[in-house]
Every structure is written in structure tokens, then in C-alpha cells.
């Protein structure tokens, strides 16, 4: 079969990789670079070439088992580095204009860095939220329940709900703090619950790839034997042809294919499908997914971290003017004095920028959870399939890959790479431990 794939994010690239070498794939990507929301830049920091993930960064071999198998299959398991993902949350005081550290969670002990957690009542409120969310997980409460239904009944101070709990969860998707209330509660809490800390005095242990997630993009693209990749060429429009589909790319070239996989944002998928008869229901469902525009900047300016270095964490969330934005410090990751900050709404840009990028982050609402069923029912209609992070579970590298696996199961259940992925022992080679 000849299969067109629109979108070279993880969903599109891994679909092409899974279908190879059984089928001939043609991958279209409007940007000159591959990877989509996985975007690694390399910058010189203190004389060292330092990879920085502007987009997706944190992964977990335990919480993301399919991704762990893919890393194993392409030989990247040994590149996993453990990252203690500690969190500081500071709030800008409107009166003084100065930040107050409300919470600095535990961080794995480090003899060279006299770090001091700031816990107190705010930590108690966070524990109350995590405990209630874990109960919802155990009871398998509907994903259509909103975050305010989870947070409002908690017996914690109003101030902690408004200045700590909603801002913490808003920071994960870059939305404003008021919009966070409408997110799916199960989706909003998943990143907190799935990688719990090993003990109360340590941070949750996530992982990064030593050379950035871009190394997975490169490995997948290099391992296509019967696939063509066309960077700089998106899918412009689609027509139903005799015995298949006609794809017209943004350079005006026509491609006749048997199947089309749309591994692109849902709004763009709706734009391509709207002219085709019989697609109104799926297009309406695709239009339900809500995205937030964010800018992320790599830099070497510690301005967004607390004045007292003992309260620094791997992630520092700053609450200001109705927004909460994260800075990731690379010190605990690879020793670099480099930072990655969400800078969309910051009053001041960082002084020493290295690179920046814009993305659209998914804010998963109950309406979007319902829309998934409609998209699922339309899978394969007229030879068109959907893949992407928005189709299942939470917005993550794992869900993008799981969507690619589900699409390949429909198109080519006998694909050898699919069989290998599904039968590969979990964590076939274990990632290195810390230290």
C-alpha cells in the first residue's frame, strides 16, 4: 500500500516507522525541521554544547511503557538520564511586586547544594489534592468531571486553591488560571499522579534523553527503508480519487495514495477534511479541542528563580497577573546553568536568550473528552485515519505514540515492527539509575 502521512511529530514519524518496511509511506511536514512539539536546540553554555528541549522534555520508562519500548527498539535506552523533578511555586505579591515562595517541594539530596524545602500549610493543601485525585483514579471517576469539581470541595484555605492548586495545574498547559478550572480533572492531575516520589523527602524521578528528544526524531527518520520524508511541504488539500485519495502538497505536487493518516493538530485536520462529503460530524468534533498559544525561551538568566538559591527547584512556577509560568533549570539535569522558561506573559523577557519557539498546548476539557468518541468512530472512513496526542489519555509523548500504534493496528496489523513493539518485554533494557 502507498500511505500518505501528514505531520512529522512523534505520532506521524512513529506511524511511518511502524508501517516500514511493509508499506511505502510518504510523510509531509510544512516545517523544515522534523519533530513537531519535540524540538531540541543545542546552545553553547559556559563553553559546552548543551541540548535544550524547547518543547516536550520529560518522559518516564514506567509511566510511558510504549515509549520505553520504542527507545529500546531504536537503541536509545542508554541515553535516558534521571531527572529529579522538584517544584517551587512562587507568587508575585501585587502590593510589593516581589515574589513570595509559597512552596518548595523536596529535592533529592545533593551535597554540593544546600537546598532547603519550604513546606508548611501549602504542602498540606497539595497533599489533600493529590490524595483526593488518587481516590478519583481508584474509583475511575469520569474524565468528563472538571477540575473545579475536584478542587472546590477540598477543605483547604481559599487562598491555597487560588494561589497554589489552580496555578500549579494551569502551568502544565500554559492556560490562564481561570481557564484551568474547566479542564478535565483526571487529565490535569495525571502528570502528578503517574510518577509519585519514592519517599516523602525526594522529588518524583522523571527522565530526559541526554541529547534531547530530538535524538528520537532523528533515529526514527533514519530508520525508514521504504519511506519518503518531505520537510518543507505540508498537505495543502485532499480529494477523493478513483481507488484512493489525491493529496496536493503545498508546492502543488499531486500524490495518489491508498490511505491517508492525519497526524496533525485537530483544527488543521478539520480544515483538510471539510471539503469532503460526509465529514461534517468529525470536523465538528475535531473543532472541539482547545489549544493555548505559548512561547518557550531557552536562556541563561536566573531572573525567574527565587532570590535564595536554597529554594531553587528543577521546575519553578511563577504566579503573576492571572498566569502561572514554569522555568526549568538544567542544573539538576546535566549541570548546565541554562534555563527553559514559558515566557508568553512574563512582564520582562529573559536577559540572555539562546533560542525560542512557539507551540500550541492542548487544554483538555470534558467536551474534548466526549469528542474523542466521534473521531474514533470516523477512523478509517474513506481511507482517512487520525493519529496524534489529542486522541487518548493526556497530552504526552506516550499518547502520541499509542495513537500511532492504534492506527498501525488498523492499517497493517501484520507489520513486523508493530508485532515487535507489542510483544517486546517492558523495559527490555533498563535505563541507568541516578548516581
Backbone angles phi, psi at 354, to 5 degrees: -105, -40
Q: Which of these segments, 28-36, 69-77, 103-111, 372-380, binds ligand FAD (CB under 6 A)? A: 28-36
Q: Which of these segments, 92-100, 109-117, 389-397, 424-432, binds ligand FAD (CB under 6 A)? A: 389-397
For residue 234, CA distances in Å to 150, 226, 269 come to 41, 20, 12
Q: Is 175 in the site for ligand FAD (CB under 6 A)?
A: no
Q: Is 415 in the site for ligand FAD (CB under 6 A)?
A: no
For residue 386, CA distances in Å to 102, 282, 380, 398 come to 43, 11, 8, 16
Which residue from 21, 22, 24, 31 is in contact with ligand FAD, where contact means CB under 6 A? 31
- The count of chain residues that interact with ligand FAD, using the rule CB under 6 A, is 35
Min CB(300)–ligand FAD separation in Å: 19
| Binding residues among 335-374 for ligand FAD as defined by CB under 6 A | 359, 361
Min CB(100)–ligand FAD separation in Å: 26
Q: Is 216 in the site for ligand FAD (CB under 6 A)?
A: no
Min CB(107)–ligand FAD separation in Å: 18
Nearer to ligand FAD, 156 or 238 (CB): 238
Q: Which of these segments, 9-17, 301-309, 316-324, 366-374, binds ligand FAD (CB under 6 A)? A: 9-17
| Binding residues among 47-76 for ligand FAD as defined by CB under 6 A | 55-59
Residues 6+ apart with CB under 8 A from 4: 25, 26, 27, 28, 235, 245, 247, 255, 257, 259, 260, 261
Q: Which of 327, 314, 77, 332 lies closest to 209 in space, CA to CA?
A: 77
Nearer to ligand FAD, 123 or 371 (CB): 371
Which three cell numbers, joined as nine digits, stand for 198? 519514592
Q: Which of these segments, 27-35, 74-82, 193-201, 405-413, binds ligand FAD (CB under 6 A)? A: 27-35
Which residue from 3, 9, 313, 316 is in contact with ligand FAD, where contact means CB under 6 A? 9
Nearer to ligand FAD, 121 or 250 (CB): 250
Nearer to ligand FAD, 106 or 265 (CB): 265
Nearer to ligand FAD, 240 or 271 (CB): 271
Q: Which of these segments, 127-135, 138-146, 224-232, 395-403, binds ligand FAD (CB under 6 A)? A: 395-403
Nearer to ligand FAD, 160 or 186 (CB): 186
Which residue from 290, 325, 393, 395 is in contact with ligand FAD, where contact means CB under 6 A? 395
Which three cell numbers, joined as nine digits, stand for 74? 531504536
Nearer to ligand FAD, 30 or 105 (CB): 30
Check if the beta carbon of residue 107 is closer than 8 Å to that of residue 93. no
Q: Which of 204, 184, 124 lies closest to 157 in space, CA to CA?
A: 124
Min CB(35)–ligand FAD separation in Å: 7
| Binding residues among 217-276 for ligand FAD as defined by CB under 6 A | 234-235, 263-265, 268
Length of the chain as a residue count:
435
CA angle 14–398–416, rounded 5-degree value: 40
Q: Is 90 in the site for ligand FAD (CB under 6 A)?
A: no
How many H helices and E strands in the chain? 15, 19
Largest CA distance in the chain: 69
Nearer to ligand FAD, 38 or 300 (CB): 38
For residue 81, CA distances in Å to 208, 210, 310, 336, 432 come to 5, 6, 23, 14, 7
Which residue from 82, 99, 212, 388 is in contact with ligand FAD, where contact means CB under 6 A? 388
Taking the C-alpha atoms of residue 231 and residue 31, their distance in angstroms, rounded to an integer, is: 6
Determine what percent of the chain falls in helix, strand and coil, rounding each to the nearest 5.
Answer: 35, 25, 40
Residues 6+ apart with CB under 8 A from 22: 226, 412, 414, 415, 416
Min CB(129)–ligand FAD separation in Å: 21
Q: Which of these segments, 29-37, 224-232, 325-333, 371-379, binds ligand FAD (CB under 6 A)? A: 29-37
Check if the beta carbon of residue 263 is closer than 8 Å to that of residue 408. no
Provide the 3-class DSSP secondary structure of residue 410.
helix
> Which helix (DSSP H) or strand (DSSP E) does residue 132 occupy?
helix 120-138
> Which helix (DSSP H) or strand (DSSP E) does residue 317 occupy?
strand 315-320
Min CB(172)–ligand FAD separation in Å: 9
Contact residues toward ligand FAD (CB under 6 A) are: 6-12, 28-31, 36-38, 55-59, 234-235, 263-265, 268, 294, 296, 359, 361, 388-389, 395-397, 400
Amino acid at each position: 500500500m502507498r500511505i500518505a502521512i501528514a505531520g512529522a511529530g512523534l505520532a506521524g514519524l512513529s506511524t511511518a516507522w511502524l508501517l516500514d518496511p511493509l508499506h511505502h509511506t510518504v510523510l509531509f511536514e510544512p516545517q523544515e525541521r522534523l519533530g513537531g512539539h519535540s524540538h531540541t536546540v543545542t546552545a553553547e553554555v559556559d563553553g559546552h554544547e548543551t541540548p535544550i528541549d524547547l518543547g516536550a522534555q520529560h518522559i518516564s520508562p514506567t509511566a510511558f511503557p510504549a515509549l520505553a519500548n520504542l527507545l529500546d527498539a531504536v537503541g536509545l535506552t542508554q541515553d535516558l538520564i534521571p531527572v529529579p523533578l522538584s517544584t517551587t511555586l512562587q507568587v508575585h505579591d501585587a502590593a510589593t511586586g516581589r515574589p513570595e515562595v509559597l512552596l518548595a517541594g523536596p529535592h533529592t539530596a545533593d551535597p554540593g547544594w544546600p537546598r532547603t524545602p519550604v513546606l508548611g500549610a501549602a504542602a498540606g493543601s497539595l497533599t489533600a489534592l493529590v490524595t483526593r485525585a488518587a481516590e478519583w483514579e481508584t474509583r475511575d471517576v469520569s474524565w468528563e468531571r472538571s477540575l473545579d469539581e475536584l478542587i472546590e470541595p477540598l477543605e483547604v484555605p481559599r487562598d491555597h486553591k487560588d494561589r497554589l492548586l489552580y496555578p500549579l495545574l494551569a502551568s502544565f498547559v500554559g492556560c490562564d488560571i481561570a481557564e484551568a478550572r474547566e479542564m478535565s480533572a483526571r487529565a490535569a492531575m495525571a502528570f502528578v499522579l503517574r510518577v509519585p516520589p519514592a519517599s516523602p523527602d525526594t522529588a518524583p524521578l522523571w527522565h530526559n534523553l541526554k541529547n534531547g528528544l530530538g535524538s528520537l526524531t532523528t533515529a526514527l527518520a533514519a530508520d525508514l527503508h521504504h519511506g519518503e520524508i518531505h520537510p518543507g511541504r505540508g498537505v495543502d488539500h485532499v480529494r477523493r480519487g478513483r481507488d484512493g485519495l489525491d493529496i496536493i502538497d503545498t508546492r502543488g505536487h499531486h500524490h495518489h495514495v491508498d490511505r491517508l493518516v492525519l497526524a496533525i493538530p485537530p483544527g488543521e485536520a478539520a480544515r483538510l477534511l471539510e471539503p469532503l462529503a460526509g465529514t461534517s460530524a468529525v470536523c465538528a468534533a475535531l473543532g472541539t479541542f482547545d489549544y493555548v498559544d505559548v512561547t518557550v525561551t531557552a536562556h541563561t538568566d536566573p531572573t525567574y528563580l527565587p532570590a535564595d538559591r536554597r529554594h531553587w527547584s528543577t521546575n519553578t512556577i511563577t504566579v503573576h497577573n492571572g498566569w502561572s509560568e514554569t522555568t526549568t533549570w538544567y542544573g539538576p539535569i546535566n549541570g548546565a546553568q541554562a534555563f527553559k522558561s514559558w515566557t508568553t506573559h512574563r512582564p520582562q523577557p529573559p536577559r540572555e536568550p539562546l533560542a525560542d519557539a512557539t507551540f500550541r498546548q492542548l487544554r483538555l476539557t470534558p467536551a474534548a473528552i466526549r469528542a474523542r468518541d466521534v473521531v474514533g468512530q470516523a477512523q478509517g472512513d474513506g481511507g482517512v485515519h487520525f493519529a496524534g496526542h489529542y486522541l487518548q489519555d493526556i497530552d504526552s509523548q506516550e499518547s502520541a505514540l499509542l495513537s500511532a500504534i492504534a492506527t498501525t493496528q488498523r492499517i497493517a496489523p501484520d507489520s513486523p515492527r508493530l508485532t515487535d513493539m507489542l510483544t517486546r518485554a517492558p523495559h527490555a533494557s533498563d535505563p541507568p539509575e541516578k548516581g
